[in-house]
Amino acid sequence: MNENYTIGQLAEAASVNVETIRYYERRGLIAQPPKPTEGYRTYSRATLARILFIKRAQELGFTLEEIANLLELGESPCREVQGMAAQKLASVRAKLADLRRLEIVLDDLLNQCAVNLDQTHCPIIESLQPDDNNAP
């Protein structure tokens, strides 16, 4: 069965917007098929698979630039792809550490508010004010 898609059909099959497909074309992530003399451009099943790959990679936190690099690697040895994945994992772990620190700070501020007897000031607001010593 010859599966070709118009841009609207491709967008629906990939659960993306038509503008997303056009954006991917502009970014060079997918190729724009040639326009026939009559009718509409049609996209192949391979293009659908590529869009689904892009969306899955985005779900895993890869940026479009990183995805373009992954697509360029294509048939490269696994160690090159592994290197990119290792960098992404390090970035995710750093973000998680930052979020854990933020969680601790916010929890502490909420606890300070809970025991605050002086309703004329709020510990959260005070923590956001610049120090007089560090003011320009």
Cβ(29)–Cβ(68) below 8 Å: yes
User: Cβ–Cβ contacts within 10 Å for residue 75, how many?
Assistant: 4
Q: What is the pLDDT of residues 83-121, one digit of tens each?
A: 888 998 999 999 999 999 999 999 998 998 888 887 778
78 phi/psi in degrees, rounded to 5: -55, -35
Cβ(81)–Cβ(94) below 8 Å: no
Tokens found for residue 81: 């792809």
| Of 23, 58, 21, residue with least CA distance to 41 | 21
What are the domain boundaries of the chain?
1-62, 76-130
Predicted TM-score of the model (pTM)? 0.69
How many whole angstroms separate alpha carbon 19 and alpha carbon 25?
10
- Statement: residue 131 has pLDDT above 90: no
- Given the candidates 1.10.10.10, 3.40.50.150, 3.40.50.300, 1.10.1660.10, the CATH classification of the domain at 1-62 is 1.10.1660.10
Mean pLDDT across the stretch 2-12? 91
DSSP lists the bridge partners of residue 51 as none
The DSSP call for residue 76 is: S
Sign of CA dihedral 26, 28, 30, 34: positive
Region of poorest pLDDT, from 66-70, 118-122, 131-135: 131-135
| Of 98, 60, 96, residue with least CA distance to 81 | 60
